[in-house]
Amino acid sequence: MSAPAATSLGPVTPPVGETPPPPIRRRGGPFSRENLAATILTGYVPLIIATAVVVLPLLWMMISSFKSPSEILTTDLVVLPSDPTLHNYRVAMTSVPIPRFFLNSVIVTVIGATLKVTLAIMTAYALVFVRFPAKRIIFVGILVALMVPPQVAILPNYVLIAGWGGVNTYWGIILPGLGTAFGTFLLRQHFLTIPPSILEAASLDGAGHWGSIWRIVVPISLPSIATVALVTVVSEWNDYIWPLIITTDSSMMTLPVGLTALQNSEGNTGSGWGILMAGTVVVIIPVLLVFAALQRYIVSGLTQGSVTG
């Protein structure tokens, strides 16, 4: 087993850049007179429907978060709030400590992702460039871990971490997820493409392994590292089941868990919806912005043969 099963299908992963293949048998361009109707009907109508299906619910969330309670609590359709208000955001913050959730999420995401990416770089470097007898077995062991979903491990990990006193602590939230099979695997694949001669030249210059990691391998692998980092950041930010179990005190909850608390306190019906949408905006918009800015890396990272994401 030399490559993970999922990735041996490598060729199917999409090229992310924009490389439309040459048209098959169009005489004129898509906007020429004879093709215009067909272009709109078979090209743009499906595209617009698909985009609308994705965008409209998110837009609805945004708009609703600025509506007044009476505009939420109505059976009529209120498309736009007549007088956009921050009322929902204010209530959400007094109902549950949203700024605190946000801070907790930032702390957990930044520390967790930094450590994970560092561990992934170090492990991948060791697997590729450092000689060691049992390397192959260790690599397979890491690969198989990629197939184990974290959800089946929550009960034993809860018993262990709770026994160590990790309930309602940052380290308790971060520690069990730190071991990284995904990042290690992805970076290893990239490091294998680095010509060893570059490192040999460096070692002649007296750079040890530590030096060649940070001065040579990391700088020339930045796009791959960015991919791993972004995917890690997004999944740490969104992580739900583990923080849900390991935090009971609202001062330690991350945003997704805090939203569950907000849902419990504001209920699922009535004017609570505006408040819940305000809270939801806080968890969704940061990721949406990161995605909009850096989607190239995120898409390639998520579609490159990771089974569990």
The residue from 93, 96, 127, 253 that contacts another protein (CB under 8 A) is 127
**Shortest spacing between CB 285 and another protein, in angstroms:** 9
Q: What angle do CA 194, 215, 219 make, to 5 degrees?
A: 60
Alpha-carbon gap, residue 291 to 296, rounded angstroms = 8
Q: Shortest distance, CB of residue 239 to another protein, whole angstroms?
A: 9
Q: Which of residues 65-124 bind another protein (CB under 8 A)?
A: 72-77, 119-120, 122-123
Residues 177-216 that bind another protein (CB under 8 A): 177-181, 184, 209, 213
Q: Which stretch binds another protein (CB under 8 A): 22-30, 94-102, 165-173, 221-229?
A: 22-30
The answer to whether residue 25 forms part of the interface with another protein (CB under 8 A) is yes
Rg (CA), the chain: 24
Residues in the chain: 309
Sorted by sequence, the CB contacts under 8 Å of residue 210 that are 6+ apart come out as none
Number of residues that bind another protein (CB under 8 A): 117
Asked whether position 261 contacts another protein by CB under 8 A, the answer is: no
| Window 269-308: residues binding another protein (CB under 8 A) | 269-270, 273, 276-277, 279-280, 283-284, 287-288, 291-292, 295, 298-299, 302-303, 307-308
Contacts of 260 (CB under 8 A, 6+ apart): 244
Task: Say if CB 101 and CB 286 are below 8 A apart.
Answer: no
Of 139, 124, 270, nearest in space to 192 by CA: 124
CB of 173 to another protein, least distance (A): 13
